[in-house]
Amino acid sequence: MSTLESEHPLTLDTPRLTVKAPLQRYDKQGDLSDGQRVEQAMRHFVRDFGATAATWMEACIHCGQCADACHYYVQTGEAKYTPIWKLEPFKQAYKRESGPFAPIYRALGLKKPVTAAELESWQELIYDSCTLCGRCSLICPMGIDIARLISLARHGMAKAGLVPHELWAVAERAKREGSPLGATAKVFRERCEWLADEHNTPIHVDLPRADILVSMSSIEIMKYPDSIVATARVLNHLGLSWTFRTDGYEATNFGMLAGNADWQKDSSLKLVNAAIACGAHTLILPECGHAYGALRWQGANMYGKPLPFRVLHISEFLAEQVQNGSLRLKPLQKSVTFHDPCQVSRRGGATRAPRDVLNALGTDLHEMTPTGDVNWCCGGGGGVVTIHRADSLRYKVFQNKMRQVDDANAELLVSSCSNCRQTFDDGQAHFHWDKTMLSLLELVSDQLIDTTATTGSQGESA
């Protein structure tokens, strides 16, 4: 493992410099003038507007309840973190540009155009302090899907070149190299080969035909490579026809998180085309939250027609195999608490799947309070974990999560999202916390009853 680590250093492992009270920095990409930035932001924000988003934009009654659902507000008590306030300039833009009274607003000048300065100062609210976790969407008495609207606002910000720089750079690298963290096709193939060898587990890469295409998050590839082994073990255990493909393996979609629709589409289509190329009937998404949202719910729309294969999150896949009796597991006599990845549970609809799996593992599930659909976000989603200047805020938010985990009083802490896991690891190191986040997939892989395909050493969880 050591050679690979030195050949491909992980930026995530290097210590980050943090300043106590950093000057607010407004990142900009490109060399547009202020006027052009605003123009771009508004045009692209507005261009995405359909009847649905308009309904939500119109509906807000300024009750402020969303603040109580947002971990940023709850942990800081700062009014500016009220979810709907994060959309304020975009609300203004909507009313001026697309609302039913827009012609009146424009003619009478009742709503001022949004200024570049406003957009810049909102960068922190739209990116640093929103993980798109969608908790606010559950509390809103008007049923406004605020998280969805923030995603739309990011489209405008991205077009205006007003994305926090690290997030932009990560997304740009993903577009350029095929992976945000340097897990290029070559690196991925080499890792797979090495891991197959090391763990004595067949890992299929680039099979021309397979029933199941499996994808990975580059966070797993680079930081939690045991996940690759675990995936292979489980699929081999089930005796299924599966493969990784170097022309479509990266499941993360930082283009989407940054708000760049073109990059988002690029990333999604790679997976879609790879699945079609090998004739897969199922695409399995890895332990990654936003990957699920990107492909399960937005993939077909990137593709422009229904996808000719099923899309499953790994936890859904595992639950399915548990239910049809194919997956045979040794009981794990331990108490477990489960952290719900927002995009898979609350936003994705797969809240039950991991619990079915944990149940099959014979664990004693200690649910957090609150849990499931209303579980608190770890604070790392939505690309926030990439933004260095947001670190201190992220730690504040993470304390909420730590308290929740501690209160659950379980022996093991498990989730099914490598981005959450990365956030937990970072928080654990920062606070010298005694809890380590484990992967559901790796837990399953460790408890397989068997046999032929997994004779190698039992991989320890990271």
Partner 1 sequence: MNLLDFARGPGLQGALAIFLFGMTWRLAGILLLRRKTDFSVARTGDWWFGAFRLIVQRSLPRREFASATGYPLALSYLFHIGLVIILFGLNQHILLLRTYTGISWSNLPSGLVNLAAAVTAAAMVALLIRRLSHPVLRLISNFDDYFSWLVAFLPVATGMLAVAHLGGRYENLLAIHILSAELLLVWFPFGKLMHASLIFLSRGTSGALLTRKGAAI
Partner 2 sequence: MSETLEQNLRSHGISRRAFLKYCTTLASLLALPPSAATAMAAALGKAQRPSVIWLSFQECTGCTESLTRSNSPSLEDLIFNSISLDYHETLQAAAGTAAEQARENAMREHYGKYILLVDGSIPLGHGGAYSTVAGVSNLDTLKKVAAGAAAVVAVGTCSSFGGLPMANPNPTGAVAVSDIITDKPVINVPGCPPIPVVITGMVAHFLTFGALPETDLHKRPKVFYGDTIHDRCYRRPFYDQGKFARTFDDEGARNGWCLYELGCKGPITYNSCATLKWNEGTSFPIQSGHGCLGCSEPGFWDKGSFYQPLSASTWHDIPALAIAAGAGVAVGAVAAVVSRHRQDSTSQSPTNGEK
Kindly tell me which of 267 and 315 has the beta carbon lying closer to partner 2.
267
Give the footprint of partner 1 on residues 48-67 (CB under 8 A). 49-52, 54-56, 58-65, 67
Choose from partner 1, partner 2, none: what does 350 bind? Cβ within 5-8 Å by kind.
partner 1
Across the beta sheet with 335-339, the strand order is 364-365, 335-339, 412-415, 437-439
Q: How many residues in total does the chain contain?
A: 462
Nearer to partner 2, 30 or 202 (CB): 30
Q: Which helix (H) or strand (E) holds 439?
A: strand 437-439
28 near partner 2 (CB under 8 A): no
Piece of the chain touching partner 2 by CB under 8 A; list 11-19, 98-106, 195-203, 444-452:
98-106
| Phi and psi torsions of 412, nearest 5° | -120, 150
Q: Which residues pair with 310 in a beta bridge?
A: 282
Q: Which helix (H) or strand (E) holds 339?
A: strand 335-339
When asked if residue 345 is in the footprint of partner 1 (CB under 8 A), the reply is yes
In contact, 369 and 407? CB cutoff 8 Å: yes
Radius of gyration of the chain from Cα atoms?
A: 22
**Interactions with partner 1, residue window 124-183 (CB under 8 A):** 134, 137-145
Rounded to whole angstroms, the Cα distance separating 136 from 33 reads 34
User: Which residue of 175, 191, 233, 265 would you call a contact of partner 2, by CB under 8 A?
Assistant: 265
Q: Is the sign of the CA dihedral 440, 441, 446, 450 positive or negative?
A: positive
Question: Site for partner 1 (CB under 8 A): how many residues?
Answer: 64
**Which residue, 58, 59, 66, is CA-closest to 83?**
66
> Is residue 264 at the binding interface for partner 2, with CB under 8 A as the rule?
yes
List Cα–Cα distances, 421 to 247, 291, 439, in angstroms: 26, 14, 8
257 binds partner 2 (CB under 8 A): no
In whole angstroms, give the CA distance from residue 231 to residue 81: 39
Helix, coil or strand: residue 330: coil
Among 18, 200, 301, 455, binds partner 2 (CB under 8 A): 301
> Would you count residue 68 as binding partner 1 (CB under 8 A)?
yes
Stretch that binds partner 2, among 70-78, 109-117, 259-267, 346-354 (CB under 8 A): 259-267
Work out whether 9 is an interface residue with partner 2 (CB under 8 A).
no
Supply the minimum distance, in Å, between the C-beta of residue 159 and partner 1.
19
- DSSP character at residue 244: B
Site for partner 2 contains 51 (CB under 8 A): yes
Longest dimension (CA), the chain: 76
Nearer to partner 2, 80 or 148 (CB): 148
Contact 437, 425 (CB under 8 A): yes
Crossing angle of helices 51-59 and 146-159, in 10° steps, is 110
The yes or no reply on residue 347 touching partner 1 (CB under 8 A) is yes
Taking the C-alpha atoms of residue 448 and residue 399, their distance in angstroms, rounded to an integer, is 34
Q: Which of residues 39 and 88 has its CB atom nearest to partner 1 in the complex? A: 88
248 or 299, CB closer to partner 2? Answer: 299
Contact pick of 65, 246, 273, 298 for partner 2 (by CB under 8 A) = 298
Show the site string, 303-342: x = touches partner 1 by CB under 8 A, - = not: xxxxx--xx-------------------------------
| C-alpha distances in Å from residue 275, one per residue of 212, 281, 284 | 8, 8, 10
Burial class for 112, CB neighbours closer than 10 Å (0-12, 13-18, 19+):
exposed
Q: How far is the CB of 170 from partner 1 (least distance, A)?
A: 25
Residues 145-174 that bind partner 2 (CB under 8 A): 148, 152, 155
Tell me the C-alpha distance between 303 and 401, whole Å.
36
Q: Whose Cβ is closer to partner 1: residue 19's or residue 61's?
A: 61
Q: Which residues bind partner 1 (CB under 8 A)?
A: 49-52, 54-56, 58-65, 67-69, 73, 77, 79-80, 82, 84-85, 88, 98-101, 134, 137-145, 296-301, 303-307, 310-311, 345-351, 370, 372-374
Q: Which residues bind partner 2 (CB under 8 A)?
A: 43-44, 46-53, 97-103, 148, 152, 155, 261-262, 264-265, 297-298, 300-302
